[in-house]
Structure 1
Amino acid sequence: MGSVVSLKDFKRYAAGKPSRSGGDWRPVDSGINDLISMAGPTVRAKVRQLIRDFPYFARAKRIITDFTVGEGISLQSRASGADGKYNKRLAQQIEDGYRWFCDEADIAGKLHLKEMERLSRDQDTECGEYFYIKTRSKNRNRYVPLALQMYEADWLTTYGAQVKNRNHRIEQGVEFHAETGEVKAYHFTDPNGYGKPQRIEADQVIHGFETLRPGQLRGISPFTPGVIVTEDLKDCMEGEIDGFKYASKWLAIVKSMDPVARQKALTTKEANFLQPIEELENGIIEYVNPGEDVHLMANPRPSGNLEPFVRLILSMLSVSTGVPYELLSGDYHCLNWAVIKVVRADFKHVLKPVSARHIRQNCQPIFRAFMDDAVLSNRLNIPGYFFNPYPYLKAVWQPPVADPVDKLRDVKADIEEMQQNLRSPQEVVAARGRQLEDVLDEIADAKKMMKDRGLTMEEVSTALANNPAALQKD
């Protein structure tokens, strides 16, 4: 006869039942905003210090920025006219104006907009969030008055902040509607003092972060799960390296049959500031007294143990940061073309939502603010823009693309897919970080230059293929 199972046992997960193996584990759970409020400042400080002090943590941050932003995400306007068709002339005007704005976007005049993009991506990794404040410059030589200023996440504060509506609440410096959760304003403290917080309306702030749970107001670093393990691994790695150093440094020890006399001799030597210890390359030789014996030291740490230990550390760090081991360590030995391609493809797939979020939260809001200001300033003549701006805001954002591992194989595969109508030329060119329109324009310009010089494409291609550099490469 089987045991009787109560109905209550069917109503909970096995993981939720108390057990001897679980010990006194009582997980802390609360609202996402309470958790970030309590732990956010400490987590930010720890992640920043690990990035400063631990090379692989810094490399992980740099790799993510390089693969998501690179030199900057490029814009190609796809603005359409009143007839709904692509308007090349207007698109060119928009692109030219936007490039001008990128040169002077920083109100301080120090950073190009693409550099600010990289900085915001770095801040997203370190702090879990970043801030742009829209401001206006009085310099009449600018293309548009609009300018941007970046704020630190640490500047948000609740102390001294006051709401302007009784239905509003303030948490972690963010003022929001208590019923809908709509963000209304941000309260920033003076980073150089303790004055009254500055209240900035939400429509003047670009706030980017990854939303992990509904109702979340602030971001937290994606490296957070790896902070504890990385800090421990960092200490272990430093201890292991120190062990290797000292094991190879100390050459011998002295055994004495008269420890009292030995201690007295050492005291006398120290009192006279004479310590008969000298170094010979990596070995230390210590002079001994009569009756003492020298015992040569053996290195207890053979060098063969270091490499697998470091590899284990980097593998765990790879899991905690989301960066493949091969890219994090730079260790490509014993890898073939297929493995490298799989690693790159997997990492690219992982970063797709990261790049898409960066475009939505960073590129598109800035571009929208630029377009609004350019039309208001009569830099762009677009009748009816504010009635329906979306046809003029159409754009293609091109994230960075890594060079192919084996270009010849990739080209053959692309040609085969295009011949079978499985991929379009636009998709193939975009996968290489370019726009088809730009490539065709460059080809047309090249053909015109050849024609002006009495050359043909076949002659130029043959010359390029047979030049010494190409032959040496082959």
Structure 2
Amino acid sequence: MNALDRAIGWVAPRAALSRARARHALRIYEGASVGRRASSFKALNTSANAEIQGALRPLRSRARDLARNTPYAARMLDIITSHVVGTGITPIPDTGEDVLDRRLENLWDDWEGQADVTGRMGFYGMQALSVRGMVESGESVIRFIDRPLDNPRRVPLQLQLLEGDFIDQWRDGIYGNDGQAGAEDLEHTRLGVGLGEYDRRIGLWLNPNHPGEINTSAMRPGVSAFVPQDELIHLFKELRPGQVRGVSWFAPILMTSRELADFLDAVNVKARVEACFSGFVTNNDDAGVDVFDPSRPGLAGRDGANPDAQLTSLEPGMLKELRSGQDIKFAAPTGTTQVEPILLFNLQAMAAGVGCTYDQVSGDLRGANFSSLRAGKVEFRRLTEQLQNHVVIPQVCNRTWDRFVSRAVLAGLLPARAEPYRAQWMTPAWEPINPNDDIEADIKAARTGRISPQEYVASFGNNWRKVQDMTAAFYKRADHLGLAYDIDARRTDQSGKLQAVDGDGAGGDPTGGKPKPLKDDFGEPITAPASN
């Protein structure tokens, strides 16, 4: 202890000990020290919601401006959306009953294309747009809309996709149970999110119109209403415990991206100025002519041969005559060789800040090889799978599936059962970097039991049940027509050699070498086409 601590120790020993411990901790952790080097840190010790409260709107608007006017930011949105959602994260019913699973698949396929209440897109398109909004603006809202049972074969449910702007962030404080439907357990509201006991999400305060829309007399007044949690989906990536609103993924790179865009603009302007090779004619004739100036009555000025010669812009190949006594002097900008390194390092920082790889953002594959591409894709795949399984599937897919099933049961399209209607969600396939080696490795993984055959088929973005049905139908018709394919594992081994076939079809040929009659869906035999 120093002299001051010892003096304090006579009066308050505990305070003196606390000061000594804090000073000792600062010496251990350099990042906790104070001084000039640490002056740029913004250590406010605030909660996640306190940090978001003042930054929510400017971050969202600036991120949108960045996506509109910066090609690299727009590219990042496309990359993340295409890998997380692709053409859609699709369900595979898993109730344990094949008949019920097929019924569920048919109902879902019929409903999916009509899911959007605006009639613009299907559920998979809404998945992509909601994820894009989450990355760009920080969050998206999907609202369940129950529809009348006007079609006895379609589930009476549609979805409404809203931007996060619809959440009334000015609803902040103690609102409690003020008569709003579904707000019975509401204790307080934070940034437009209704919270109950243990800060459990109860619902959202939603505006009837977009706050940034130009209001007309036909629109309802902007008074937010409470919507219960079971009537909507609030999609965002939670970064800290207790966080109730989402933050744009572009937040760490906004300044870097803006400065890089300004730098590239300056480089382009410099190149344009350097390309303006122009010629100038100087008139040294001092005689001049008398020119009447209407703004100065009674006075006459003397000007050169070209009294209208004024230089306000430069153009390539321009020849300009100057007034007598005028001269042109140019700044001589030095050439820079730092454009490419600056662009490279900034793009790498931007890609890392959002979670992409440099080659994805820039399209630059000059220094790439198989090893570097594979290493980058492995990390990107881990991040994408984490986002799929921890954010998109639990918040969007499972919630929508549960609502779909409940409305199908209420409409009498599915039987009520004690067991839940489970589903497995199939994510987009990952294209192999080296197809031969990667597919061979996947086959070995399935053969050794590392992954199941269902997972192997699903890894290519396919429904394993449909693949089995289509494969069985294909070989059934091939057997009937007496056709043999070297891809038929029943007839050939892994090396493509024919397997031994006995009279009963053993050895891999279930037909016994004889074609079996093929029947259609109505049980009628299908005859082979007559040969010419």
TM-score by length of 2: 0.74
Q: CA offset at residue 202 of structure 1?
A: 1.7
Q: Which residues of 2 match residues 48-447 of structure 1 at below 5 A?
A: 48-79=64-95, 86-138=96-148, 140-141=150-151, 143-157=154-168, 162-164=175-177, 168-177=187-196, 179-191=197-209, 192-251=219-278, 268-269=307-308, 279=315, 282-288=316-322, 300-301=334-335, 305-356=338-389, 357-382=391-416, 385=417, 388-390=418-420, 392-393=421-422, 395-447=423-475
SS of the residue 1:249 aligns to? coil
CA distance change for structure 1 residues 25 and 56 in 2, over 3 Å: closer, same or farther? closer
CA distance change for structure 1 residues 45 and 292 in 2, over 3 Å: closer, same or farther? closer
Q: Distance in 2 between matches of 1:124 and 1:151?
A: 11
Q: Distance in 1 between matches of 2:403 and 2:205?
A: 21
- Tell me which structure has the larger Cα radius of gyration: 2
What is the CA RMSD across the aligned residues, in angstroms? 3.4
Q: Distance in 1 between matches of 2:239 and 2:314?
A: 59
Bigger drift between 45-54 and 221-230 goes to 221-230
Bigger drift between 395-404 and 447-456 goes to 447-456
SS of the residue 1:269 aligns to? coil
Contact 2:305 2:323 in 1 (8 A): no
CA distance change for structure 1 residues 91 and 301 in 2, over 3 Å: closer, same or farther? same
Give % identity: 24
Q: CA offset at residue 324 of structure 1?
A: 0.3
Bigger drift between 39-48 and 200-209 goes to 200-209
Q: Distance in 2 between matches of 1:419 and 1:167?
A: 53
CA distance change for structure 1 residues 65 and 452 in 2, over 3 Å: closer, same or farther? same
CA distance change for structure 1 residues 141 and 22 in 2, over 3 Å: closer, same or farther? same
CA distance change for structure 1 residues 401 and 283 in 2, over 3 Å: closer, same or farther? farther
Q: CA offset at residue 326 of structure 1?
A: 0.5
AA matched with 1:409: D
AA matched with 1:185: G
Which deviations, in whole Å up to 9, do the C-alpha atoms of 1:364-416 show, x marking residues without a partner?
0000000001011100123xx3xx443x22x2111112321221121222334
SS of the residue 1:268 aligns to? coil
Contact 1:188 1:198 in 2 (8 A): yes
Please say if 1:458 is aligned against 2:469.
no
Contact 1:73 1:397 in 2 (8 A): yes
Alignment correspondent of 1:468: none
AA matched with 1:9: R
Q: CA offset at residue 278 of structure 1?
A: 7.8
AA matched with 2:397: C
Q: Distance in 2 between matches of 1:447 and 1:126?
A: 48
Bigger drift between 448-457 and 346-355 goes to 448-457
SS of the residue 1:180 aligns to? helix
Q: Distance in 1 between matches of 2:373 and 2:66?
A: 28
Q: Distance in 2 between matches of 1:231 and 1:6?
A: 45
The total of aligned residue pairs comes to 439
Q: Distance in 1 between matches of 2:243 and 2:352?
A: 25
SS of the residue 1:75 aligns to? strand
Contact 2:89 2:426 in 1 (8 A): yes
Contact 1:247 1:301 in 2 (8 A): no
Q: Distance in 1 between matches of 2:71 and 2:384?
A: 22
Contact 1:158 1:170 in 2 (8 A): no
More helix by share: 1
Q: Distance in 2 between matches of 1:11 and 1:455?
A: 79
Question: 50, 53, 71: which is aligned to 1:34?
Answer: 50
Higher relative contact order (CA 8 A, sep 6+): 1
SS of the residue 1:215 aligns to? coil
Where do 5+ consecutive residues of structure 2 fail to align? 6-18, 179-184, 210-218, 289-301, 490-532
AA matched with 1:163: G
Q: Distance in 1 between matches of 2:113 and 2:186?
A: 41
CA distance change for structure 1 residues 311 and 17 in 2, over 3 Å: closer, same or farther? closer
